[in-house]
Structure 1
């Protein structure tokens, strides 16, 4: 009976380990879609920022083009009037005015070129964001298409494991099963561990000699006095104990 209880406790632990993994997957799967949605939203925000930046740059470019064209017209008129100037003073005044307009227009042309280059960079960045967003949308669509199938498969597996868990629990006396559940709720796995050469493999601490002697007798389920995990002598480990898959067959 002792050997059967150890066997079922080990099986119970294997079932619980798999249930933990599956439940984590069930919780994580929708989160994967949520994370992708968050990435798409972040990209859209960055695209909006670039669009706003482009709007400002294009407005600046349009303003400069207007001012360049307007002053170019003034320069042209001044050149036409220059031939009709009656005295040197007026001639030099008009020349200074044209030089000033031409200098300002050269500065505007340089600023316009810089703005056009920046517009090009921003538009290229926008293309990269569009490409990245498209990739994420494709990944989202692919994951969403398989999500329901993945979740359904995982839930069915959990249901199947729950049945195996109940079956294994029937073999273990209620006090021992209650102790197992108590430990499982309070410490990380594993709950039941082997002892080899007097050392608990759960906490790696030597157990007292008397407890080790009792453990070797194989009469009752014993807990490690240090970590409180259920322990069994390694020599009592069930050879060929049924796995979770074996139990299903």
Structure 2
């Protein structure tokens, strides 16, 4: 049993190394995804801003056309003034001209606001496009560096997995199954040291009789508190 426990300790060390490297790999994969998402986010923003700009341009053209129409209305009304013969008609035309000029003034103000919005949005789009170009220029080298680290980790995981498989072949299947179940329940730690009357897995005191049995027996002993497999370790 002691030989099997030593093999389980070795197996656990390999499992923890593999777990750690899988964690590192996932972190790197998340970094790759974050880089792609950052570029995609800027692309979406640029696309949305361009659509917004297109709408503003349509509104500007519509205002310009309305302004042309009002200028034509004013010109026609003012031309009619020369043909008017009665005071009543003259007052009516003056009223038309006054209303048209007021509408023209409002349109000119709206048009100026729209042009200002277009100018500001165009500047924002230019800045975003510059940011996007910079990201796209640098992202390939960043992703290549991260991918290199992922490839290295995968190679190390492969080596550890082969060593794990070789070690597991020397351990009875029933013990391996128990070890796997404990690892799943106890955050990856199934085999722990018993030292100075304590379980190093849960830091609880072991019953003296159970602890003393570790000196005498070659049977599997479990911590009564955390159920992990105990391996006796004595201070030098």
Q: Give yes or no for TM over 0.5.
A: yes
Give the whole-Å Cα distance in 2 for the aligned partners of 1:206 and 1:84.
Answer: 114
Scaled by the length of structure 1, the TM-score of the pair is 0.75
The aligned counterpart of 2:158 is: 159
Shift of 1:138: 4.1
SS of alignment partner, residue 234 of structure 2? helix
The aligned counterpart of 1:246 is: none
Shift of 1:163: 4.0
Unaligned runs of 5+ in 1: 240-249
Give the whole-Å Cα distance in 1 for the aligned partners of 2:48 and 2:170.
Answer: 65
Cα RMSD after superposing both structures:
3.3
Shift of 1:174: 6.2
Give the whole-Å Cα distance in 2 for the aligned partners of 1:158 and 1:124.
Answer: 49
Shift of 1:100: 0.2
Scaled by the length of structure 2, the TM-score of the pair is 0.78
**Bigger shift: 5-14 or 221-230?**
5-14
Q: Determine if the alignment matches structure 1 residue 210 to structure 2 residue 201.
A: no
SS of alignment partner, residue 222 of structure 1? coil
Q: Answer whether contact 1:26 1:151 (CA < 8 A) is retained.
A: yes
Higher relative contact order (CA 8 A, sep 6+): 1
Aligned residue pair count:
236
Post-superposition CA distance 1:68-107 (Å, at most 9, x none): 1221233234335435543332222221111101111111
The aligned counterpart of 1:245 is: none
Change in Cα spacing, 1:18 to 1:55, as seen in structure 2 (3 Å) is same
Q: Determine if the alignment matches structure 1 residue 130 to structure 2 residue 129.
A: yes
